[in-house]
Amino acid sequence: MQVLTRVRREAVAALRAQDEFFWLDLEAPPSHELAALGAELDLHPLAVQDSINFGQRPKVDEFDDHLLIVFYSVTAAPADSGREFEPLEVHVYVSGSFVITIRRRPCSTLDQARQRMQEHPPADEAKVIYRILRALCDAYDRPLKRLERRVDDQEEAVFTAQRNARLEVIYRLHQEVRDLLRRTTAQREQFRYAAQALAELPGLTRGPRAELRDVADHVTEIDSELSRHDVDIDSLVNVYFNVTASQTNTVATRLSLIATFFLAWTLVTGFFGQNFGWLVENIESREAFLVYGVGGLIVATAVAALVLWLGRNVRGDK
């Protein structure tokens, strides 16, 4: 089996003439090369147009002697995107004579799979496809572990200060997970058709069906993990708002207590501050000030405190 990373029409024509299976792995090929490749390999024009345009949903398109599988892996996001990872769209063409992978960004696991197959060619053609699809699934391993740690960190930090900034981080994390999840969920449904189509593709030397089942299980596991993270983040948002509401209630309770005491004090000072003649003429000594003024404030404070204490005990009994 030959592995190519550039469109070399002479090499492709020679491999087809020799009926030798090959893998052509292309990263960001120009449109004219894809059009020429489609003409050389008799790829369906609609499939080639999809690969030129990109931005396709996960799907499986069956043609007479080949398939187009739009498969989503994951890769590191650009530094200015505010994310760590983003979906990576990969177009996989499969026939009995070749497999072609087309992507617009690097995928380290696919590069590693290509290197391993160059050093140790697989025994059958179906195993090549299995290793390609498995490599695209393996790219999720690090992001899923990293997402789990990030969710755990936010769960611990949601009880700390700077809650407004924390909420922004949580929402960005939620968007990142949802962006991956909406593709993996569709991909899980579509891969059942992909496995069946690969099993029926004419001219393809097949290995054990267990390998395709392994890829299907891995696709399902990826979707389940992302769904779990999505639920955890939803719960985290609820916890955030509950904590915020609880802290707001605590502040409101403290302000209410202070307001209760000030109400009692205002009542006392307001009464003795009235400009009645008797009050002005008879309450003018230090002793009268201490008894009526300070004493009245102390009594009002004691009464307010007793009322609050009794109210708290009544609520506690209920």
Same domain, 24 and 42: yes
43 & 180 share domain: yes
| Domain with 216 in it | 2-245
Mean per-residue pLDDT, 121-131 = 83
Tell me how far apart the alpha carbons of residues 301 and 260 are, in angstroms, rounded to a whole number: 9
Task: Indicate if 198 and 292 belong to the same structural domain.
Answer: no
Do 95 and 122 fall within a single domain? yes
Instruction: Indicate the residue among 245, 268, 288 that finishes a domain.
Output: 245
Same domain, 291 and 146: no
**CA-to-CA distance for 247 and 126, rounded, in angstroms?**
59
Please write the tens of the pLDDT for every residue from 40-57.
Answer: 899 999 999 999 999 999
Same domain as 279, residue 137: no
Final residue belonging to a domain, choices 221, 245, 269 = 245
Stated length of the chain: 318
Instruction: Indicate if 206 and 289 belong to the same structural domain.
Output: no
CB 75 within 8 A of CB 138: no
Closest Cα partner for 311 from 262, 260, 267, 268?
260
Name the band, by pLDDT with cuts 50, 70 and 90, for residue 193. confident
How many C-beta neighbours within 10 Å does residue 263 have?
11
Asked if 185 and 214 sit in the same domain, the reply is: yes
Do 97 and 204 share a domain, yes or no? yes
Q: Can you tell me the distance from the alpha carbon of 285 to that of 287, in angstroms, rounded to the nearest whole number?
A: 5
Q: What is the CATH number of the domain that holds 66?
A: 3.30.460.20
Same-domain status, 235 and 136: yes
Characterize the bridge pairing of strands 22-27 and 2-4: parallel
Position 167 confidence tier, pLDDT thresholds 50, 70, 90: confident
Under DSSP, the state recorded for 79 is: G
Nearby residues of 263 by Cβ (< 8 Å), 6 or more positions away: 304
For 91-109, write each residue's pLDDT tens digit.
999 998 899 999 999 899 9
Task: State the pTM of this model.
Answer: 0.76
Q: Do 79 and 131 sit in the same domain of this protein?
A: yes
- Are 256 and 239 found together in one domain? no
- What is the sign, positive or negative, of the torsion defined by CA atoms of 23, 24, 27, 31? negative
Q: How many domains does the chain have?
A: 2
- Per residue in 173-182, pLDDT (tens digit) is 888 999 999 9
Q: In what order do the strands lie in the sheet with 2-4?
A: 2-4, 22-27, 98-103, 85-95, 66-76, 59-62
Domain end: 194, 226, 245, which one? 245
